Amino acid sequence: MALNATIFKAAVQISDMDRQYYGDHALTLARHPSETDERMMVRLLAFVLHAHETLSFGRGLSTEEEPALWRKDLTGTIDLWIEVGQPEEKTLRRACARAKQVYTYTYGGRGADHWWEKHFMTLGRLNNLAVVNLPSETSSALATLAQPSMQLECTIQERQIWMADGVNTVHMALTILKDTSAPFGQ
């Protein structure tokens, strides 16, 4: 018998001063049985960093043809493809061929470092790929905010990020391992 996804609801208030984006989002996150709170919250962070009215979550870990998040235009062209974790090189090459921009958010400390060391030469050739790393202590702290029903406020200024649930606040400074020419959110 297959296990069902666990549903999380998040009301997120975003104040992104870097992009001049301010908005409230009511999100439903389906956490796959094999997904951790840490990975789910990194997906939520990726949403916040690229928030847009047409940004949506993919169908999840069990669907290889879809990313963690994506944004399509009215014609179905993929403007933005976002992966979370340590995707296979083949997955990122395919994503770069299909989308205008691709972002990968890695986390997990040494595992993420080893993944980047193994792939940085080949991934460095993909002009529309950006790779961003969350320090292990940051992604772990972010996981502590995970609740079945979340009320979150997120502030972004000068690439510094604060996410709070009314009681706890997590401060994040991301490490850009590989950049494209466009800033977050584009």
pLDDT reported for residue 137: 94
Give tens-digit pLDDT for 95-143. 999 999 999 999 988 999 999 999 989 998 999 999 999 999 999 999 9
59 inside domain: yes
Place of tokens 């770069």: 96
63 band by pLDDT with thresholds 50, 70 and 90: low
184 inside domain: no
pLDDT reported for residue 62: 58
Q: Could you give the number of structural domains in the chain?
A: 1
Q: What is the residue range of 39's domain?
A: 6-178
Using a 10 angstrom Cβ sphere, with 0-12 exposed, 13-18 middle and 19 or more buried, the burial of residue 19 is middle
DSSP secondary structure string for all residues of 122-148? HHTT-TTEEEEE--HHHHHHHHTT--S
Place of tokens 């890695």: 106
94 inside domain: yes
1 inside domain: no
185 inside domain: no
pLDDT reported for residue 38: 96
183 inside domain: no
89 inside domain: yes
In CATH, what number is assigned to the domain containing residue 109? 3.10.640.10
pLDDT reported for residue 183: 46
Pairing type for strands 6-16 and 169-173 reads: unpaired
47 inside domain: yes
